[in-house]
Amino acid sequence: MSYLTAITTHDVRFPTSRSLDGSDAMNADPDYSAAYLTLETSAGDAGHGFVFTIGRGNEIQTTAIASVAARLEGRDVEELLADMGGTWQELVHDSQIRWLGPEKGVSHMAIGAVVNALWDLKAKRAGLPLWQLLSRMSPEEIVDLVDFRYLTDALTRDEALEILRAAEPGRTAREATLLAEGFPGYTTSPGWLGYSDEKLARLCREALDAGFTQIKLKVGADLDSDIRRMGIAREICGPGFPIAIDANQRWDVEQAITWIRALAPFDVAWVEEPTSPDDVVAHAAIARAIAPIPVATGEHMANRILFKQLLQLHGAEVIQIDATRVAGVNENVAILLLAAKFGARVCPHAGGVGLCEAVQHLSMFDFIAVSGTREGRMIEFVDHLHEHFVTPVHLRDGSYLPPLTPGAGTEILHTTLREFAFPDGPIWRAEHAQTPLGIR
Amino acid sequence: MSYLTAITTHDVRFPTSRSLDGSDAMNADPDYSAAYLTLETSAGDAGHGFVFTIGRGNEIQTTAIASVAARLEGRDVEELLADMGGTWQELVHDSQIRWLGPEKGVSHMAIGAVVNALWDLKAKRAGLPLWQLLSRMSPEEIVDLVDFRYLTDALTRDEALEILRAAEPGRTAREATLLAEGFPGYTTSPGWLGYSDEKLARLCREALDAGFTQIKLKVGADLDSDIRRMGIAREICGPGFPIAIDANQRWDVEQAITWIRALAPFDVAWVEEPTSPDDVVAHAAIARAIAPIPVATGEHMANRILFKQLLQLHGAEVIQIDATRVAGVNENVAILLLAAKFGARVCPHAGGVGLCEAVQHLSMFDFIAVSGTREGRMIEFVDHLHEHFVTPVHLRDGSYLPPLTPGAGTEILHTTLREFAFPDGPIWRAEHAQTPLGIR
């Protein structure tokens, strides 16, 4: 028997706003950050989880993770890991914490960090990467991870079981395919709003050379500029090469439709986050108006209940799960099942800090044990900050190669935790020394 | 000119779980709490705001309020108060904080506390209670408070102006009516799940005697028990007296419909929070199935975007705004305008800590300057914890009498802040001394 003995949180921030990496129509100057959690056990091992944020407020998220995790101090680790569905429900249904959401925002993401740290520990104890641990579970074990409350008008436990059982026969063959070929990636690196036209053109060429099957451009700040940038990207990528656009929630319904129609002549692979992630009704209206251009969204959708409605109303064809926005692996399993039920493609949001490392496991699990296909599916890739992770992603010819190291991919290097600690780590002391007021 | 000189937060909790006040199907043991903010100025005055929570996690909310408010330290108070619409947008559109929601949960409620503290200060400086300050603003000034982003497919600025202009001629007469008669209240005090049948019966009688026009029972934990309790309440209140039920988000769609149909013979005034507050699609399905029984919801709806969709899909007839769930007065003004556009009745959620004190201002403003009617409208009343406020609510014959003291009603007594401070105030030291582990 082992116990949770130590719960440690870290506020880690990277001064990315200096280079305008990650700049888009809604996020002008992000400092990519992680509110990071380590759960240590009496057996001497540990699990790691985090929430990705973009700077200010990372201290709020860190406080929330510490508060949620404190409830588990001293608990029997085997018991928690043996029933991850029950553990999820215990955390999510804690009525006092639930009041702060319910099931959304800071408190819900905090639960996600705790849940993901437990999955990291569980995978390490099993000696398997998370994708393999999940895709070797039985259909019954998988549905036991999911809380079907608020889902049954769209997906029942029995329907979920059916989906998983239908995918069971091909698991072994698909795992072999995955190990041989990897999972397709696409890249957003060329398209940040803050980049010059020259940098955009150069990065488009590099994306093609690297073998990516799609690129994505940030749009939504200025239509003329978007038309010019789409023209550059289309010219370099050539006709037929998929170019998606991402408005980062910038528009209302009418504005979205007008803007997208103006960019449609450049052949748009999908339109991402055209409006508020809470607005499933608006997504449905936009999707109807711009068909057959697909709508993609999800990175900011708060929970499975919003994804359910988005699918019920046909508001999006492309479902962009995020590893740290919802309450961890369990809730993402629910969303994968919902997407499979409605025949939507799952193309995860990634980038940020460690989102590629974490979310690849879910797409690989989806391919092997849920949807059973990679058709039209790909994982976002942004080439930032991977060097801070113990098991950084590996790509070959634009595809993610399945990680083989045990765990969930969520562990950050000790040196990074120390150097990028906010506000007292050496990187931030140096930053602050350059800023007249000593504050950001 | 005056500046914001001091920003102080307090974690204040009341040990209400001892008496099962406030117990419902989802919240078994709440300790009613306030994450409280004081903004002090160089002119020597101050504004106060808070977020209501139910215990654990109040420290997360307090941290978030301190982080959001810190952005305003040293700022010119006149400038902030002169353009409350601009101030709201500055706080809500801060891209780094926005990432933590967006516009929902802990970070959004924290903005609400700051916005409400500024309104408290603005009303005090104007020498008016908030309801009067708001209802004396011109239609143009009122729409300038509202951010129409994500609303324009349902409500444009021009449509909002039309609504406000239509209500302008009757303002003076309605203010006189309000001052003479007050605003109708209804009470939830009899109906908490943790109460015995005898206590339920006694409190029903007391509610009738006090002149309330409706009572409300918590339901959703056990159907047989709900049928028995509804029978008791109906017998005491007599036929025709409005009895609402409140499931506190307990059900899925099918279960809600079955449960409500079983209680329908007792004549149900409305069904409150039948399912997840995020699920506008499910609310619409339930509303269609149980018509003509109205659906009521809103106390946990994260923002105006969810209210908009709820109204677009006809998911609720009764809109239950909450003073501290969304981003303060400005966002509630947007929701009042949406409700007026769709012809929905606004019956605020109250109770908790100070929610009656704060939200009454919004209903009174709605009556005078927005909807122009009290027809079918009433404010929830729960007789808890009013004694901790500088300007507690006054009721007469079941109606809220309009407060005449300048401010937003959000100021807590100094003695309360000290005595109920968590975890180190005298009340909690005494509580902890009784608990073996010294923790809750």
Per-residue model confidence (pLDDT) at position B378:
98
| 8 Å CB contact between B373 and B367 | yes
Out of B29, B61, B95, closest to residue A100 by CB: B61
Write a three-state SS string for B342-411: HCCEECCCCCCCCHHHHHHHHHHHHHHHHCCCCCCCCEEECCCCHHHECCCCEEECCEEECCCCCECCCC
Nearest CA in chain B to A27: B95
The predicted structure's pLDDT at residue B22: 66
Interchain CB distance below 8 Å, A302 and B30: no
pLDDT of residue A437: 46
A256-265, A280-289, B66-75, B429-438: lowest mean pLDDT where?
A: B429-438
In what helix (H) or strand (E) does residue B271 lie, and over which residues does it extend?
strand B271-272
- pLDDT computed for residue A62 by the predictor: 98
This complex has an ipTM of 0.96
Q: CB B305 to CB A278 under 8 A?
A: yes
A278: contact with B, CB 8 A cutoff: yes
| A267 phi-psi bin (left φ>0, alpha ψ -120 to 50, beta other) | left
Residue A439 has pLDDT above 80, yes or no: no
CATH code of domain A4-129+415-434: 3.30.390.10
Which among B48, B47, B95, B52 has a CA at the least distance from the CA of B71? B95
A197 touches A232 (CB < 8 A): yes
Is the CB of residue A367 less than 8 Å from the CB of residue A373? yes
CB pairs under 8 A between A and B: 193
Q: Please report, to the nearest 10 degrees, the dihedral formed by the alpha carbons of residues A147, A152, A156, A159 taken in order.
A: -130
Chain A CB contacts of B313 below 8 Å: 281
**Range B4-128+415-434 has CATH code 3.30.390.10:** yes
Roughly what angle, to the nearest 10 degrees, separates helices A105-126 and A58-70? Answer: 60
Average pLDDT for residues A323-331, to the nearest whole number? 98
- Superfamily holding B164-412: Enolase-like C-terminal domain (3.20.20.120)
Pick the CATH number of A164-407 from 3.40.640.10, 3.40.1550.10, 3.40.50.300, 3.20.20.120: 3.20.20.120
CA distances to A297, A331, B58 from A360, in Å: 17, 15, 35
What pLDDT digit, counting tens, does each position of A68-116 carry? 999 999 999 999 999 999 999 999 999 999 999 999 999 999 999 999 9
CB A399 within 8 A of CB A211: yes
Q: Residue A237 is encoded by which pair of tokens?
A: 């990528």
What would the pLDDT profile of B224-256 be if each residue is shown by its tens digit? 999 999 999 999 999 999 999 999 999 999 999
- In the prediction, which pLDDT does B193 show? 82
pLDDT band (50, 70, 90) for residue A435: low
Q: Which residues of B are catalytic?
A: 218, 349
**Res. A22: pLDDT tops 90:** no
Euclidean distance between the first and the last CA atom of chain B, given in angstroms as a whole number: 46
Within 295-314 of B, beta carbons closer than 8 Å to A belong to 300, 302-303, 305-306, 308-309, 312-313
Contacts of A412 (CB under 8 A, 6+ apart): A10, A12, A34, A36, A48, A50, A354, A388, A389, A390
CA B300, distance to chain mean position in Å, is 9
CA distance B92 to B176: 36
User: pLDDT tens, B297-353?
Assistant: 999 999 999 999 999 999 999 999 999 999 999 999 999 999 999 999 999 999 999
Phi, psi of A218 (to 5 degrees): -75, 135
Whether residue A133 is predicted with pLDDT greater than 70 in this model: the reply is yes
User: Which comes out higher in pLDDT, residue B419 or A439?
Assistant: B419
Whether A18 has a pLDDT exceeding 90, the answer reads no
Q: Are B380 and B348 in contact (CB under 8 A)?
A: yes
For residue B15, whether the previous peptide bond is cis, meaning omega lies within 30 degrees of 0, is: no
pLDDT at B103: 98
pLDDT given for residue A440 in this prediction = 39
Strand pairing of B399-401 and B243-246? unpaired
Tell me, rounded to whole angstroms, the distance of Cα A176 from its chain centroid: 25
Q: Which of B122, B133, B110, B108 is nearest to B37 (CA)?
A: B110
Task: Kindly state the helix (H) or strand (E) to which residue A360 belongs, with its residue range.
Answer: helix A355-365
SS3 A302: coil
d(CA A6, CA A41): 7
A1 pLDDT exceeds 80?
yes
Residues A370-383 have pLDDT tens digits of: 999 999 999 999 98
In this structure, which amino acid lies at residue A154? A
CA distance B175 to A96: 39
Distance CA A312, CA A309 (A): 5
Q: What is the pLDDT of residue B435?
A: 58
Strand partners, B3: B76
Chain-centroid distance of CA B87 in Å reads: 22
Based on C-alpha coordinates, what's the Rg of chain B?
Answer: 21
What residues pair up with A216 in beta bridges, in sequence order?
A244
pLDDT value for B431: 82
Question: What are the DSSP calls for A30-48, one per residue?
Answer: ---EEEEEEEEETTS-EEE
Q: Are A26 and A248 in contact (CB under 8 A)?
A: yes
Name the DSSP letter for residue B117: H
User: Which of A104, A349, A361, A384 does the annotation list as catalytic?
Assistant: A349
Cβ within 8 Å, pair A300-B26: no
Cβ(A253)–Cβ(B152) under 8 Å? yes
Which residue in the block uniquely carries the two structure tokens 């809604």? A26
Eight-class DSSP state of A368: I
Residues 6+ apart with CB under 8 A from A158: none
Which amino acid appears at position B6 of this protein? A
Cβ count near B342 (within 10 Å): 18
Which residues are B51's β-sheet partners?
Answer: B35
Q: What is the pLDDT along chain B (440 residues), one digit of tens a residue?
A: 899 999 999 999 999 888 766 677 777 788 999 999 999 999 999 999 999 999 999 999 999 999 999 999 999 999 999 999 999 999 999 999 999 999 999 999 999 999 999 999 999 999 999 999 999 999 999 999 999 999 999 999 999 999 999 999 999 999 999 999 999 999 987 888 888 999 999 999 999 999 999 999 999 999 999 999 999 999 999 999 999 999 999 999 999 999 999 999 999 999 999 999 999 999 999 999 999 999 999 999 999 999 999 999 999 999 999 999 999 999 999 999 999 999 999 999 999 999 999 999 999 999 999 999 999 999 999 988 999 999 999 999 999 999 999 999 999 999 999 999 999 999 999 988 865 543 44
Closest Cα in chain B, distance from residue A376 (Å): 28
Residue to mutate among A31, A89, A96, A326, with most B CBs inside 10 A, is A96
Q: Where are the domains of chain A?
A: 4-129+415-434, 164-407
- Closest residue in B to A277 (Cα) is B102
Q: What is the pLDDT of residue B438?
A: 39
The beta-strand segments (E) located in B16-141 are 33-41, 46-53
Q: Could you tell me which residue, B27 or A392, shows the higher pLDDT?
A: A392
Q: Which of B60, B103, B253 sits opposite A106 (nearest CB)?
A: B60
Is B302 close to A249, i.e. CB distance below 8 A? no
Candidates B55, B107, B277; nearest CB to A105: B107
CA distance B33 to B52: 6
Q: Note whether B186 and B210 are within 8 A (CB).
A: no
Query: Who has greater pLDDT, A407 or B28?
Result: A407
Residue B215 parent element (H or E): strand B215-218
